[in-house]
Amino acid sequence: MIPIIPVAAVAPAPTSAASSGLVAPPPLALYVHWPWCVKKCPYCDFNSHESGGVVDDELERAYLAALIADIEAALPQIWNRPVISVFIGGGTPSLMRAETADALLAAIRMRLPLHPGAEVTLEANPGTAEAAKFAAFRAAGVTRLSIGVQSFADDKLAALGRIHDSAEARRAIEMAQRNFERVNLDLMYALPQQTLEQAEQDIATASASGVGHISAYHLTLEPNTPFHHAPPPLPDDDLAADMQEMVEGRLAAAGFGHYETSAFARGADQRCQHNLNYWTFGDYLGIGAGAHGKLSNHETIWREARHRNPRAYLAGAARGDFISTRRNISRADLPGEFMMNALRLNDGFPPGLFTERTGLPLAAIEESALAARREGLLETVDGHVRPTPRGRRFLNRLLAGFLPEAGA
């Protein structure tokens, strides 16, 4: 039997993560959080706060100033490292004024060395779509728009608490395509009382729209959401599995490559580079209310989070205090953290990437990888360690084998 990881690649384990260290920090991305939305959806557990569609001018200016100060405070941690992508998420970032987006991106370019051709994504809600604003976002430097459509069926949109209808979704897509070469649509399936045929119609409409990227997610009932406290009638597990298979089959037939658990792209150039950096355990600086980051130097890898409430974040900014928590990732946790990301990729990862991004030898995951192979969850193909079709179907089970308690 061919081992899951070539034996020749396995080196003796160091006594600590610091004693091995990273040869060089990995690629760096920037995440910017916009915390306001028009209305909080009942399934949403993101850090978003209802604004009624309008953010006060003074509040928006103060938040922009805080974001810029946040970058400046973080510069010693990332000094002179090129930024490969910027992602402005939320909330609903398309609520921000076009001049705010322009000032934000100008401030980023002035303070951080953006990589030539860096991907700059902004999330948009069809209910906040305006042709002039989309054009202004493009002029400001946004290169990719991600639209939260979720469904093209009006009854399903109402059940999800969305503020737009299907006609507004179609108009937003058309406006986006007039201004951006790269457009993503977010869709969900296994919606309240959804049939297989209804889910298939959503996928058919999305794939026929001409966009280059579709993210298709199974609706989940997240803790501390209205849907979790009062669950709507959802498809059973068997029907939800049929929907997942349908999504994968229909998008493959339409020319979309399935490159990550929920991500489909028409060609490698349409893949989300920002998310790929997450999944390959790259670094990212997160700024804004509740933003999370993962950063490295030659000896340490750590995670940090900003103050979650926008008012608390602004109050912290006034003191020069942006970070609510920071923790070093222990040597015991690093294998699980890496694999939780990398095994979301259908093509997996080259074994050397594990050592490159964690500073640990492959011996740290050899035993768990062999156990996963014996269960038919993991395989090595063309030099990449990747989930099998069974491993993709039971991804949580596969990932659990790399957590510290699994090897205890």
Model confidence over 63-79: pLDDT tens digits? 999 999 999 999 999 99
Instruction: Look at residue 5 and tell me whether its pLDDT is greater than 60.
Output: no
Is there a domain that residue 80 lies in? yes
Pair (1, 77) in one structural domain: no
Residues 6+ apart with CB under 8 A from 249: none
Question: Could you give the number of structural domains in the chain?
Answer: 2
Q: Please report the pLDDT score of residue 8 as a whole number.
A: 36
Is there a domain that residue 302 lies in? no
Pair (162, 258) in one structural domain: yes
Place of tokens 């298939």: 200
Domain with residue 40: its CATH number is 3.20.20.70
Is there a domain that residue 113 lies in? yes
Q: Please report the pLDDT score of residue 4 as a whole number.
A: 54
- Give the torsion through C-alpha atoms of 318, 319, 325, 328, to 10 deg: 120
Is there a domain that residue 349 lies in? yes
Pair (243, 371) in one structural domain: no
Domain finish residue from 278, 293, 320: 278
Inter-residue contact 124 to 138 (CB < 8 Å): no
Pair (262, 387) in one structural domain: no
Q: Please report the pLDDT score of residue 53 as a whole number.
A: 67
pLDDT grade for 406, boundaries at 50, 70 and 90: low
Pairing of strands 378-381, 384-387: antiparallel
Instruction: Look at residue 6 and tell me whether its pLDDT is greater than 50.
Output: no
Model confidence over 15-64: pLDDT tens digits? 333 345 788 889 999 999 999 999 999 999 999 998 876 789 999 999 99
Radius of gyration of the chain (CA): 22
Pair (246, 378) in one structural domain: no
Instruction: Look at residue 407 and tell me whether its pLDDT is greater than 60.
Output: no
Q: Please report the pLDDT score of residue 9 as a whole number.
A: 38
pLDDT grade for 271, boundaries at 50, 70 and 90: very high
Pair (274, 376) in one structural domain: no
Domain with residue 4: its CATH number is 1.10.10
pLDDT grade for 125, boundaries at 50, 70 and 90: very high
How does the average pLDDT of the chain come out, rounded?
93
Pair (52, 12) in one structural domain: no
Pair (7, 35) in one structural domain: no
Pairing of strands 292-296, 301-306: antiparallel
Q: Considering the entire predicted model, what is its pTM?
A: 0.93
Domain finish residue from 278, 293, 325: 278
Q: Please report the pLDDT score of residue 131 as a whole number.
A: 84
Pair (153, 209) in one structural domain: yes
Judged on CB neighbours under 10 Å (0-12, 13-18, 19+), 313 is buried
Pair (110, 201) in one structural domain: yes
**Long-range contacts of 198-202, Cβ-Cβ distance < 8 Å, separation of 24 or more:** 198/153, 198/156, 199/243, 199/246, 199/247, 200/246, 200/250, 201/152, 201/153, 202/151, 202/152, 202/153, 202/156
What residue numbers bound the domain in which 166 lies? Answer: 28-278
pLDDT grade for 283, boundaries at 50, 70 and 90: very high
The residue type of 242 is D
Mean pLDDT on 110-132: 93
Q: Please report the pLDDT score of residue 129 as a whole number.
A: 83
Per-residue tokens: 256: 């979309």
Inter-residue contact 157 to 126 (CB < 8 Å): no
Q: Please report the pLDDT score of residue 2 as a whole number.
A: 38
Domain finish residue from 248, 278, 308: 278
Percent of the chain past pLDDT 70, that is, above it, reads 94
Inter-residue contact 195 to 242 (CB < 8 Å): no
Is there a domain that residue 23 lies in? no
Is there a domain that residue 329 lies in? no
Pair (100, 171) in one structural domain: yes
Is there a domain that residue 226 lies in? yes
Pair (272, 162) in one structural domain: yes
Is there a domain that residue 64 lies in? yes
